[in-house]
Chains A and B, each alone.
Chain A
Amino acid sequence: METIFAYTLLAAALIFGICGAGTAIAFGILGGKLIESSARQPELAPRLQTQFFLIAGFVDVISIIGVGMAMFFIFVQPFHV
């Protein structure tokens, strides 16, 4: 039982870490491109911002599902012997 719980925590830690890394890279690129294109064409900035939030939702969906599952694994502990 302790072994299963320890492995669950380890899996959750991996999920958190990899999800965090993936979204961090994605948001870095996304935010950078937003600022870059707003600087090129400032009149498009409000429209680009709407698109930015829309794509931000696409970007973080997998990782936030992963984080939700990791939290579920830690606190509900669905694995039993």
Chain B
Amino acid sequence: MAETAEANVNEIAAAAHGEHAAAGAEKYASGSEYIGHHLNFLTYGKRADGQLGLAHTVEEANAMGFWSIHVDTMGISALLGLIFLGVFLLVSRKATSGVPGGLQNAVEFVVEMVQNSIKNTFHGKCDFLGPVALTVFCWILLMNLMDLVPVDMIPGAVQIAAGNPHLFFKAVPTTDVNITIGFSLSVFILILYYSIKNKGIGGFVGELTLQPFGKWAIPLNIVMELPAFLAKPVSLALRLFGNLFAGEVIFLVIGLMGYWQLPLALPWAIFHILVIPLQAYLFMMLTIVYINQAHQHH
């Protein structure tokens, strides 16, 4: 009974997509299954039989619960982080004061852009902010850029390499909400640290409780200030995740259309070239703005 209902839903979903399952997608029963398959992670954790290993189905991955790890997200983000560090290290080792080469030019452009953003918005003294902003920008930019790789290319290569055509693999780390929340929680910890360091615990608590209505309306002040404070990391994480997730799903829908995907994927990719650096830039700017707020005395 359950299976037939599932099959019906897939038929409806397939009908909603028009004709489906062409070119790269023929091994999936329907368009909905193709997209659902591409939205699952390669999860490693403790299986039901007590062994550590990879989950083979969605139910198995869900049953692993909290103590499991998304191997694809972690692997690709770590790889991109190493690429970022390696390129910047290489350039800084070989930097010349003469006419810079192409790579040095690009790195200098990025560093100067981050430096100018900090100079324009940050009015405190903090040696740690420059490296944080640079890392946030470059790392998120690289992770977002994985979105421009055709949707089946990296998962397909991994499936062939692993010899398992039904392996889950998700190539864009920022479409995993765990990564974006990890980023925003790190920024949140920095905000807490610098708030307490610069204002003292009293000043920080006072900022949350004594504004905007003075000390006779402390409960009202808490109700007004605390959600705004806690909304910072949530909106930071969900903005990045939402943009990239929506973009990825639209790439997947385009990927369902057989040969029609060629004229459709190109304009969407070109539009996405705007979104990708914009989101990385926004994340960096908001990090700077929030840490600047943590430095300001009232």
Write the B192-221 contact mask toward A (1 if CB under 8 angstroms, else 0): 000000000000000000000000000000
Q: Is the CB of B282 within 8 A of A53?
A: yes
Q: B278 to chain A: which residues have CB within 8 Å?
A: 53, 56-57
Q: Is the CB of B246 within 8 A of A68?
A: yes
CB contacts under 8 Å to A, within B249-298, are 249-250, 252, 278-279, 281-282, 285-286
CB contacts under 8 Å to A, within B91-127, are 120
CB contacts under 8 Å to A, within B3-43, are 5-6, 8-9, 12-13, 16, 32, 35-36, 39
B156 at the interface (CB under 8 A from A): no
Q: Is the CB of A2 within 8 A of B242?
A: no
Number of B residues near A (Cβ < 8 Å) is 29
Q: A77 to chain B: which residues have CB within 8 Å?
A: 9, 32, 36
Interface size range on A against B: 20 to 34
Which of A5, A6, A64, A72 gathers most chain B CB within 10 Å? A64
A1 at the interface (CB under 8 A from B): yes
Q: B135 to chain A: which residues have CB within 8 Å?
A: none
User: In the complex, which residue of chain B has the Cβ closest to the Cβ of A9?
Assistant: B16
A72 to B176, CA, bound (A): 12
Write the A63-74 contact mask toward B (1 if CB under 8 angstroms, else 0): 011111101101
B90 vs chain A, min Cβ distance (A): 30
* Secondary structure call for the A interface: helix
B238 at the interface (CB under 8 A from A): yes
B34 vs chain A, min Cβ distance (A): 9
Q: Is the CB of B39 within 8 A of A57?
A: no
The contact of A65 among B39, B242, B279, B282, by CB within 8 Å, is B242
User: In the complex, which residue of chain A has the Cβ closest to the Cβ of B274?
Assistant: A53
Q: Is the CB of A57 within 8 A of B239?
A: yes
Q: With A1-B9, A68-B246, A75-B249 in contact, is A61–B39 under 8 Å at CB?
A: no
Q: Is the CB of B249 within 8 A of A71?
A: yes
A54 at the interface (CB under 8 A from B): yes
A25 at the interface (CB under 8 A from B): no
A16 to B55, CA, bound (A): 33
A15 to B52, CA, bound (A): 40
Q: A61 to chain B: which residues have CB within 8 Å?
A: 235, 238-239, 242
Q: With A54-B282, A76-B39 in contact, is A67–B9 under 8 Å at CB?
A: no
B113 vs chain A, min Cβ distance (A): 11
A6 to B15, CA, bound (A): 13
Q: What are 26 of the A-B contact pairs (CB < 8 Å)?
A: A1-B6, A1-B9, A2-B5, A5-B13, A9-B16, A53-B278, A54-B282, A54-B285, A56-B278, A57-B278, A57-B279, A60-B243, A61-B235, A61-B242, A64-B242, A66-B242, A67-B242, A68-B241, A68-B243, A71-B245, A71-B246, A75-B32, A76-B36, A77-B9, A77-B32, A77-B36
Interface residues of A (CB under 8 A from B): 1-2, 5-6, 9, 47, 50, 53-54, 56-57, 60-61, 64-69, 71-72, 74-77
